[in-house]
């Protein structure tokens, strides 16, 4: 195996490590040149085989010393019910592989059917919500149009009556708060009122008279 790996090209598109199918074939069957010479094909073609072609099964099975049913189990499964000369071990293996494949396909079919049913339920639910949202939108749109028509009609009536049309969109002007101190009486216009007692103060006894 190591000698064949050195013989095969190590670089380029035909490199040994670039052909995973050839690697598997090389590991299980040995050098591809032997199989290629027996099948009258090139080693590169053999290295690209994912499985042995049907017309080369007999040749490769004789070369490797195994039965064709073991080389290609899928072909053994096909002729399982019709062939009578199969080896009992190959027949049992083919039957087990067939049953396992059938169980796997049945499980995958059930899972796919369940996923499809769940997707159908989600689709129907989404369609129902879409119809409800569309109905709600149409109702709100009709109500908005009716209210706009009522506003236009009221504006026309106010205009015909010679009354001003109020502008509800404008911000109302807030009156400025009074600057009078808390607890003090405020006069007209926010001006503090004073009485006579607060203006005329009695002169102090210690101060001399002004006209002396």
Q: What is the mean pLDDT of residues 18-24?
A: 48
109 C-beta neighbours (distance < 10 Å), count: 10
| Phi, psi values for residue 186, rounded to 5° | -110, 140
Q: Which of 16-25, 60-69, 152-161, 197-206 has the lowest mean pLDDT?
A: 16-25
Which has the closest alpha carbon to 73: 89, 55, 49? 89
* Tokens 């911000």 sit on residue: 171
CA dihedral 51, 53, 54, 60 (to 10 degrees): -80
Q: What is the pLDDT of residues 115-149, one digit of tens each?
A: 999 999 999 999 999 999 999 999 999 999 999 99
CATH architecture designation of domain 1-66 = Orthogonal Bundle (1.10)
Q: Are 59 and 39 in contact (CB under 8 A)?
A: yes
Most confident of 83-87, 157-161, 171-175: 157-161
Q: Which of 85-89, 163-167, 191-195 has the lowest mean pLDDT?
A: 191-195
Q: What secondary structure letter does DSSP report for 183?
A: T
CA distance 92 to 77: 10
Confidence bin at 20 (pLDDT 50/70/90)? very low
pLDDT at 200 over 80: no
Q: What is the mean pLDDT of residues 74-97?
A: 65
Q: What pLDDT, on the 0 to 100 scale, is given for residue 2?
A: 46
Q: Are 158 and 165 in contact (CB under 8 A)?
A: yes
CA distance 29 to 76: 20
Write down the mean pLDDT value for the chain.
72
CA distance 186 to 201: 22
């Amino acid at each position: 195996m190591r000698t064949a790996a050195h013989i095969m090209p190590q670089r380029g598109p035909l490199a040994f490590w670039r052909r995973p199918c050839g690697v598997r074939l090389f590991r299980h069957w040995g050098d591809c040149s032997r199989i290629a010479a027996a099948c009258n094909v090139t080693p590169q073609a053999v290295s690209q085989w994912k499985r042995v072609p049907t017309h080369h099964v007999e040749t490769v099975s004789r070369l490797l010393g195994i039965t064709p049913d073991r080389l290609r189990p899928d072909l053994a499964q096909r002729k399982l019910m019709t062939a009578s000369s199969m080896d009992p071990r190959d027949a049992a293996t083919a039957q087990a592989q067939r049953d396992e494949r059938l169980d796997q396909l049945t499980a995958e079919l059930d899972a796919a059917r369940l996923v499809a049913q769940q997707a159908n339920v989600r689709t129907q639910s989404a369609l129902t919500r879409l119809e409800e949202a569309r109905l709600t939108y149409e109702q709100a749109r009709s109500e908005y149009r009716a209210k706009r028509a009522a506003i236009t009609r009221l504006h026309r009536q106010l205009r015909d009556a010679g009354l001003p049309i109020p502008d509800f969109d404008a911000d109302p002007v807030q009156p400025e708060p009074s600057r009078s101190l808390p607890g003090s009486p405020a006069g007209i216009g926010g001006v503090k009122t004073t009485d006579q007692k607060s203006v005329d103060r009695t002169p102090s006894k210690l101060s001399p008279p002004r006209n002396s």
